[in-house]
């Protein structure tokens, strides 16, 4: 484990509000005077943003699922080396919009990929620095995709059955690791969800003081 920082991931299906909630939490922590770093996965670094563009481009229809998984891990490795690990080493709080939990939801089963294979690659990419807490925002798929108002990216364009499986994969992660995950209902107002997020995060902050 790197340093004495706190590593929190916000994750979930498309349109679940995770990006909004990660920004709200980062802002609230900053107002309290905490050293907080807010990042998005994939992306944030120069290299990561280039990989993100490649991954989400709807024109890249021939991309194999193993290629997709490895590209996500590559962007993640760069962000860990460049931003997350240094932040944790100085005891900052890192709020990450998506992380390995996304790969375990979106790429699991594609091209025969198993959860163990994904975790093995992740161990290399993130140097075994797993999140202290992953908050999943759960939303029925119909509502989830309906919230995406812009043109859908390469992943979002996949069929409804795929997104239903992604949701099941997220919930299975939480079931398998109840100590590291919290599942929150996303079908409420942003303020209601933010209040519950704060209630989930506060005990971790107090524990690490």
- Under 8 Å between Cβ of 96 and 141: no
DSSP annotation of 151 reads -
Interval 130-150: pLDDT, tens: 999 999 999 999 998 889 878
- List of domains in the chain: 6-207 (3.40.50.300)
Global pTM exceeds 0.75: yes
The pLDDT score that the predictor gives to residue 150 is: 84
The pLDDT score that the predictor gives to residue 194 is: 98
CA distance 70 to 81: 16
The pLDDT score that the predictor gives to residue 208 is: 84
CA distance 170 to 149: 23
Structure tokens of 90?
């100085």
Interval 68-85: pLDDT, tens: 999 999 999 999 999 999
* Segments of the chain with pLDDT less than 70: 1-3
Helix intervals (H) in the chain: 18-31, 46-56, 65-79, 85-89, 100-106, 115-125, 141-146, 160-176, 190-207
């Amino acid at each position: 484990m790197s340093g004495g920082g706190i590593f929190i991931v916000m994750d979930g299906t498309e349109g679940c509000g995770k990006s909004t909630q990660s920004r709200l939490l980062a802002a609230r922590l900053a107002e309290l005077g905490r050293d907080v770093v807010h990042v998005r996965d994939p992306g944030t670094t120069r290299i990561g943003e280039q990989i993100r563009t490649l991954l989400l481009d709807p024109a890249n229809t021939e991309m194999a699922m193993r290629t997709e998984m490895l590209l996500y891990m590559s962007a993640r490795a760069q962000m860990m080396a460049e931003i997350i690990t240094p932040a944790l080493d100085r005891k900052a709080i890192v709020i990450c919009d998506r992380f390995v939990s996304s790969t375990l939801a979106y790429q699991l089963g594609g091209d025969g990929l198993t959860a163990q294979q994904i975790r093995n690659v992740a161990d290399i990419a993130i140097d075994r620095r797993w999140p202290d807490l992953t908050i999943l925002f759960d939303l029925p798929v119909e509502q989830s995709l309906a919230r995406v108002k812009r043109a859908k990216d390469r992943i979002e364009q996949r069929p409804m059955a795929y997104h239903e499986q992604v949701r099941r994969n997220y919930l299975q992660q939480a079931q398998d690791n109840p100590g590291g995950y919290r599942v929150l209902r996303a079908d409420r107002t942003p303020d209601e969800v933010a209040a519950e997020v704060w209630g989930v995060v506060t005990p971790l902050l107090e524990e690490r003081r």
